[in-house]
A = this chain, B = another copy of it.
Amino acid sequence: MQLNTDLYKMISKAQITEQLPEIRTWYEHLHAHPEPSFQEKETAAYIASGLKKMGLEVHRLPQNAVMGYLQATNAIGTIGLRAELDALPLHEQTNVNYISQNTGTMHACGHDLHMACALGAAKLLSAHKANLKHNVLFVFQHAEEKIPGGAVAVIASDFFKSHKPDVMLAMHSFPDLKAGEVGFRSGPYMASGDEVDVHIKGPGGHAAMPHKTVDTVLTAGQVLVALQQIQSRFIPTEIPSVLTFGNICAESVMNIIPREVLLEGTFRTMNEKWRKKALKQIKQIVQNTAKATGADAETVIRPGYPTIENDKNVTAKIENIATKLLGSKNIHLLPLRMTTDDFGYYAQKIPSAYFRLGVADSNGRSAGLHTPEFLPDPKALETGVSLLVQIIQNY
């Protein structure tokens, strides 16, 4: 198998290697200074300052997002690359010397890695404006982790609209693959995620006299059971979907039937049409199951991120470049993920690809995303930067 055929048009492997120590410095700085969603002030300033030094046109949103525009002299189009600024409310449990300095906040989803790779690509590519086929819009987006998601504000911004990419990309850490490996998937890849609150209400009363009231706790139980049919009977079997209520709460005592029971859940699916239909059906099942016991019910849906549907052509194109760079043995077909990412908003408007960068060690070991022990293998930095550079210069 011959690798690297017709890659490295402008930027050589040696140039990337030379850039790595600085990228590593950025990564460690970002890891040590995590900030929560919607509070990424210092991170945004750090990124903006870096992009400016590289000569990019920098635009900042009041919500913290930073966009860096690299204009190619003879561009045939624009490629957008999304990285994320925000960290998670976790107490880091690693022993690296660049451990989080902001106790209780941690980059446990690899956003530090993604930012460092994007900065590295920006630096390397910024020296080649004259020869690049595409402009590049580097989007360092705030608040990926928190509804309504920073993507909404970015997409709505005038700067994004006036520099709108023809293709949108996001590279995200993936502990199921080793550093050096990457994964792609055409079509639906990650789920939509909506928050579903169900309030079951009644007049309340004494536990010994349920006939004088409505048993809201029992009704909540019946609603939970009835809602299983959303997945098992209502949505087509081939569309992965899951409805789970992680919380149930009555705030009562054993002998008082409460006036309200709250169910808090999440509904996820991979098809926007059936997402809408299912949310309507959830309300209908709740309403009528409650009606059967005489309870009142209110279903409040807080719409979350949409499904990420990877464009077939974009995915094929970048997978082809990745295969040339890394060899087909390091390229994986990603399994479907029922987790969510607000990158779905870009994918709804622009042909997009969300692909995964392996971060496990050479034995395939890694703590999970969103755990206090998460720590990408540093080798992933090199793979990440190389891949971004090659995708952009070869797209």
Residues of A within 8 A of B (CB): 191, 193, 195-197, 206-210, 215, 217-218, 220-225, 228, 242, 244-258, 261, 263-266, 268, 338-339
Contact = CB atoms under 8 A, between A and B. Distances in A.
A220 to B, nearest CB: 7
A266 B255 contact: yes
Given A208-B268, A217-B245, A245-B254, 14 more contacts: A191-B208, A207-B265, A208-B244, A208-B338, A210-B242, A217-B244, A221-B221, A225-B225, A247-B258, A248-B248, A248-B250, A248-B261, A254-B265, A254-B266
A244 B215 contact: yes
A247 B242 contact: no
Contact of A253 (B218, B246, B254): B246
Nearest to A213: B244
A305 to B, nearest CB: 12
Nearest to A340: B208
Contacts of A210: 242, 244
Contacts of A225: 218, 221-222, 225
Which 8 A-B pairs give the minimum distances between C-beta atoms? A221-B224, A208-B338, A221-B221, A207-B244, A254-B264, A247-B252, A246-B256, A255-B266
Contacts of A221: 220-225, 248
Which secondary structure dominates chain A's binding surface? mixed
B207 A218 contact: no
Contacts of A196: 254
A248 B268 contact: no
A250 B246 contact: yes
A247 to B, nearest CB: 4
B246 A217 contact: yes
A250 B249 contact: yes
A162 to B, nearest CB: 36
A207 to B, nearest CB: 4
A250 B247 contact: yes
Nearest to A261: B248
B254 A195 contact: yes
A351 to B, nearest CB: 26
A217 B254 contact: no
Contacts of A257: 244, 246
Contact of A338 (B191, B195, B209): B209
A226 to B, nearest CB: 9
Given A207-B246, A247-B258, A265-B254, A224 B228 contact: no
A89 to B, nearest CB: 12
A254 B242 CA distance: 13
